[in-house]
Structure 1
């Protein structure tokens, strides 16, 4: 493949060229070597790449902000279309909408919207890409009040495998609109997303951390807090391993109600005394997306397991706590996120996002430094996931599935999976867009 033959304005990087190694570096510390990395200068570059790869039947991956936890967007021996330079964010204050380019990060969107006292459900790490997060669900701050990010997608511009640039909404391309809100990367290369914003200017948010040995009391308090929580409170239980070998536990929260009411809501934590770290404070909503920025540094090695949980009964709590005590890796985080609220109120049939039924979402992110540790660390993570599985609800959150969990993809999309396969056959019959949590096209036998 000749570098000069790829018809784009942006830079085309081949192995060995200056800038190639930096361009292939993503959040997850893996050593992937694409055949070419194309830094798209504009959306016409992206359209040209889709056409170029389709005509030559070349493997093409779409990489945005580089925070794909399974590193599927940076595959070996493929052309990678990097949209990282496409970060435009436009705010329509009258209609309370944000139009976002495919390489924009949540911190950029949050800052732009906050200038007008607006916000929407976003990630808790500022460097997470808007597109990847929102197209596959989007569990994050504000979700109990305003739904996951995919529920706030009002319109999408997407290049499908036939090279067409489609404007996708509930009125235009309704089938594709249904599919892309939950399974979006399977159906094309997104060039713009339009998200609903809400009049929120300030929140009370942060983390309250305690020594790791009081984790049972913290988790018990968390159960009490979430059992009574209104939609204005999004919170999670948190357990952390650190580089110095110590453990901590606590609660992270975002509260959009009257700050004067928060002390009573958090009263179940009072018997634990003063936290060793308390960052909970009034803040501008633009700061919200960076609450966890330092906890999972870019470039470390990570492995994940996740489940939905119907509730937090004594048996699942005991299982999670037992496993937490065995944390030894320096960048390990265990989360239990409270769902419900607006997440659960949207009918399941309205979008491809199937993760509405659970009371909680469990996630372990195991993080370490060196490749020599890979086998032991990955085995530990899998063991944690296996221990929690008997307590889990059906399905899994698509954004949390790691590279070795393709067998869980059908269950993650639930009852909508056959419809997604049929739509994949219509829009991408050759499975061009496959470097993702892939949905294969319905085969001819299934179609008949």
Structure 2
């Protein structure tokens, strides 16, 4: 596998006969949901077809921010950052979280106006985000080789280590009685009398009163045989990490041509802050109308291509009978190759901005698949048509940062508790009730 090395964690080997909640997917959303549920005393099983955090949950940038979120996500993101701040103490292990702030750099007055527009959304939430001038920007961007016009600065934001966080949280889930089984694909739901009765795995059935699917880019395939039309596409993001760098900036930042995040090992995660790769697949045509507003907004930032993914999904991404091997077993981990020209551009831009980066070595490059929705806002929702089934997906590149709060919100929905934040914007029915959801411009 080409992804970054993930901290090892002990998992379980045998399936139980019955649990209160079965969670499909061992990424940040599934594991945080499990933690929130075991904290409430429920018996929980997490099934992961590959290994924990094997896909985007270990391949993301590691940003934990409320800054510059979609207005519909701000409350969720604020809660998540606060939960991240307590996570090391809660799980008794190192998740890498540090509250080091997020900076979005401005090159001119137009950039300043852009972020000031976003601050209008943030002010009702009393966030720490605010505009700063050139001198304060220079003080935050240690080692910068040039001065910038200014920036939007959010000192309460933070960063964490994707390769450490999920294993650390998963270990706490198990200490609290939760079960986690790797290399155990869930082929589908066991439905009886019109409601969820459990899951069908490659190792057999498990009875469960509730099932939460938190499978990221696999959500569309899993929901297809359930008669759920989930408009979701996959966007490939590519990243690199450097060896240790002396004299560089702390925290995380978005600058012209690149974004950076300092790592606990002294290196940096660097990516192109704008460009992503999108491979055209059969669902591109099925969901063309749904995604048209997003495509028009982000067209300049997407590299479109027709490649082997079209044939792969046309031939193989279809439901199978639950007594036969499923696509989830045939491909345990989505492991795309990085787009090296994107990384080279980002690394070159970083070297121009910070002389220390120009001397750095590239330790590794990787890519991952982002599960995107037409409005770039997640689905955290139940289904009236299938009582007992819940879906947490479509985080559109924001899943790691909002993971703890998303897990808490899902636990509220599953247990019938009063949701700690309004889940209306995350309901699945926004795709079916004529709302025509779309991205919010200017964020």
Question: TM-score higher than 0.5 here?
Answer: no
TM-score of the two chains, using structure 1 as the length reference: 0.28
The higher-RCO structure (CA 8 Å, 6+ apart) is 2
TM-score of the two chains, using structure 2 as the length reference: 0.28
